[in-house]
């Protein structure tokens, strides 16, 4: 969401912790002799996920390691970006894949309500209990049953900055929100460089910004309540977060092109503006900005650097996006594959590939291929219980995941008129109430 294959000793401990019934089994006998009979020889498994290109190739290396270990034959199917559109007809036709990897935890509840998911086996849950905090277990659960495990993460609590712009202006990375606004951004603006290239035409980037500010200023408990709509968007804690965002939105000189320019810029065009066109100094987005640097000439860790999202309150925010593995056919092979993906060993194999982060706390950062990824992984691990999942991806898609509607549009409207905090809250609450009651 990094490591070497498990040793025989660690495998023995892991198997014992699972009651000795792991379907994936140890790679060797305890005497260190020849590999034992592979437990899934002849078993065929289909797994569906959204990845294509390099991401698919990296995941297929993990699948190969699983196949070599177990003897199973695994077939990969790409769902494309619209996972629901791919899975829906297959579920209705009674022919779902054995395992699906969902890009939004909200789909876990949706498919559980349709009786399209199988509860994870005790051996899989044992891996989750060993390797994940209780929050991640709850994230993959519905109605008291555990259906999924987060197997890949995106770190969204970052601000990317252009080192040359900072050096020329004499600006420094900020540790607090007040320093970001009052020192870093102001220093850059005074030097003639727009502090932020905002990608506000892509509404989800504004939800990411809100979530970081809100988690930091309101704390994890309120974050959980708002994510479930247990407190309204008219709550004072939401007003506080919007007011802080308004410290950027209310200063036209802080945004490249002002509010109108920001609202006409999508992701990843803002990355191009900052690093290729050199028109702005910072981009507020996730680790996947690195994949958009392309032909800009900016090297990660040199011209393209990151700072942790500055604290806007008592909590240092760590917001993750990611992908949840679920079982759609109740077969030994399906459960074994998800068990492997949830394990330390599976995470270690995947961690060697670029573009991957794990929420598995037992996957050591030392297994990642570069210093930046190691740093991000350590941030996830050290944040512990305060790590939270992308709130908009937990919400019904009508509110949290639809272009031109719900939270995306309401935050875009707030960027246009950041003085109207109360009006923004009322629109957010009306849209949330509508979506959560359906």
Are 361 and 402 within one domain? no
Q: Is the pLDDT of residue 25 over 60?
A: yes
| Same-domain check for residues 136 and 189 | no
- pLDDT over 50 at 4, yes or no: no
Report the C-alpha gap between 308 and 179 in whole angstroms. Answer: 13
The rounded distance, in Å, linking the Cα atoms of 306 and 311 is 15
**Is pLDDT at 10 greater than 70 in this prediction?**
no
Residues 231 and 122 in one domain: no
Q: What is the pLDDT of residues 395-416, one digit of tens each?
A: 988 899 889 999 999 999 999 9
Whether 172 and 309 share a structural domain: yes
Domain boundary among 347, 362, 384: 384
For residue range 129-142, what is the model confidence (pLDDT) as tens digits?
999 989 889 999 99
Tell me: pLDDT of 3 over 90.
no
Q: Compute the distance between CA of residue 28 and CA of residue 123 in angstroms, rounded to an integer.
A: 19
- Rounded to 5 degrees, φ, ψ at 347 are -65, -35
Residue 53 lies in a domain: yes
In a domain, residue 389? The reply is no
**Which pLDDT band holds residue 36 (cuts at 50, 70, 90)?**
low
Q: Is residue 107 part of a domain?
A: yes
In a domain, residue 3? The reply is no
In this model, does residue 37 exceed pLDDT 90? no
What share of the chain has pLDDT > 70, as a percent? 92
Q: What is the mean pLDDT of residues 169-182?
A: 98
Interatomic CA distance for residues 55 and 203, integer angstroms: 24
What is the dihedral angle through the alpha carbons of 5, 6, 11, 15, rounded to the nearest 10 degrees? -70
Domain assignment of residue 2, yes or no: no
- DSSP β-ladder status, 304-308 and 158-162: antiparallel
Residue 11 has pLDDT above 80, yes or no: no
Residues paired with residue 307 on neighbouring β-strands, in sequence order: 159
For the chain, give percent helix, strand, coil, nearest 5: 50, 15, 35
Q: Which pLDDT score, from 0 to 100, does residue 379 have?
A: 84
Tracing tokens 């270690």 back to the chain, one arrives at 348
Residue 149 sits in the same domain as residue 167: no
Average pLDDT (174-197) is: 98
CATH number for 75: 3.40.190.10
Do 204 and 83 lie in a common domain? no
Structural domain contains residue 265: yes
The Cα–Cα gap between 193 and 281 comes to 7
Torsion 261-182-288-301 (CA) sign: positive
In this structure, the answer to whether residues 60 and 140 fall within a common structural domain is: yes
Give residue 295's pLDDT band: very low, low, confident or very high (50, 70, 90).
Answer: confident
Structural domain harbouring 272: 158-317+395-436
- Strands (DSSP E) contained in 168-223 are 194-196
- What total number of domains does the chain contain? 2
What average pLDDT is seen over the chain? 90
Same domain, 20 and 129: yes
204 plus 71 within the same structural domain? no
Q: Could you say which of 345, 361, 384 is where a domain stops?
A: 384
Same domain, 345 and 311: no
Q: Are residues 339 and 375 in the same domain?
A: yes
Long-range contacts of 162-167 (CB under 8 A, 24+ apart): 162/274, 162/275, 162/278, 162/280, 162/281, 162/282, 162/298, 162/303, 162/304, 162/305, 163/302, 163/303, 163/304, 163/305, 164/278, 164/303, 165/193, 165/278, 165/280, 165/281, 166/281
Measured distance CA(228)–CA(220) in Å, rounded = 13
pLDDT tens profile 210-225 = 999 999 999 999 999 9
- Residue-wise pLDDT for 52-105, tens only, equals 988 899 999 999 999 999 999 999 999 987 888 899 999 999 999 999 999 888
Say what the pLDDT of residue 17 is: 34
Give residues with Cβ within 8 angstroms of 407, minimum separation 6. Answer: 203, 207, 210, 392, 395, 399, 400, 428, 431, 432
Look up the pTM and report it: 0.80
Same domain flag for 142 and 58? yes
Residue 390 covered by a domain: no
Domain boundary among 384, 406, 424: 384
218 domain-assigned: yes
């Amino acid at each position: 969401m990094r490591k070497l294959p498990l040793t025989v000793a660690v495998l023995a401990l892991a198997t014992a912790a699972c009651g000795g019934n792991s379907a994936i089994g140890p790679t060797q006998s305890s005497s260190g002799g020849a590999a034992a009979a592979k437990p899934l020889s002849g078993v065929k498994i289909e797994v569906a996920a959204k990845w294509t290109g390099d991401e698919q190739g990296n995941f297929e290396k993990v699948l190969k390691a699983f196949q070599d270990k177990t003897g199973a034959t695994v077939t990969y199917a790409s769902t494309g970006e619209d996972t629901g559109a791919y899975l829906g007809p297959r579920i209705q036709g009674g022919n779902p894949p054995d395992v699906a990897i969902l890009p939004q935890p909200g789909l876990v509840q949706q498919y559980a309500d349709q009786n399209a998911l199988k509860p994870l086996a005790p051996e899989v849950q044992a891996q989750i209990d060993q390797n994940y905090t209780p929050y991640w277990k709850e994230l993959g659960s519905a109605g008291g049953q555990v259906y999924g495990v987060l197997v890949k993460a995106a770190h969204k609590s970052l601000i990317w900055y252009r080192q040359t712009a900072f050096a020329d202006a004499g600006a420094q990375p900020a540790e607090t929100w007040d320093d970001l606004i009052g020192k870093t951004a102001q220093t850059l603006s005074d030097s003639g460089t727009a502090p932020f290239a905002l990608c506000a035409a892509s509404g989800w980037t504004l939800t990411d910004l809100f979530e970081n500010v809100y988690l930091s200023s309101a704390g994890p408990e309120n974050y959980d309540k708002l994510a479930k709509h247990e407190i309204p968007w008219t709550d004072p804690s939401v007003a506080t977060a919007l007011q802080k965002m308004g410290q950027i939105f209310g200063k036209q000189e802080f945004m490249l092109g002002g509010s109108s320019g920001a609202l006409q810029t999508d992701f990843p065009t803002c990355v191009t503006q900052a690093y290729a066109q050199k028109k702005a100094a910072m981009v507020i987005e996730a680790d996947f900005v690195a994949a958009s640097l392309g032909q800009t000439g900016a090297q990660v860790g040199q011209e393209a650097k990151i700072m942790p999202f500055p604290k806007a309150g008592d909590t240092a925010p760590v917001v993750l996006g990611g992908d949840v593995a679920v079982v759609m056919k109740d077969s030994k092979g399906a459960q074994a594959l998800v068990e492997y993906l949830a394990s330390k060993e599976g995470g270690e194999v995947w961690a060697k590939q670029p573009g991957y982060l794990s929420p598995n706390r037992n996957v050591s950062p030392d297994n990642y291929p570069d210093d930046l990824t190691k740093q991000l992984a350590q941030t996830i691990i050290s944040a512990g219980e305060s790590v939270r999942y992308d709130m908009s991806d937990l919400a019904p898609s009508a509110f949290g995941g639809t272009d031109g509607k719900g939270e995306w549009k309401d935050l875009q409207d707030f960027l246009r008129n950041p003085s109207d905090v109360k009006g923004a809250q009322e629109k957010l609450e009306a849209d949330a109430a509508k979506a959560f009651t359906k």
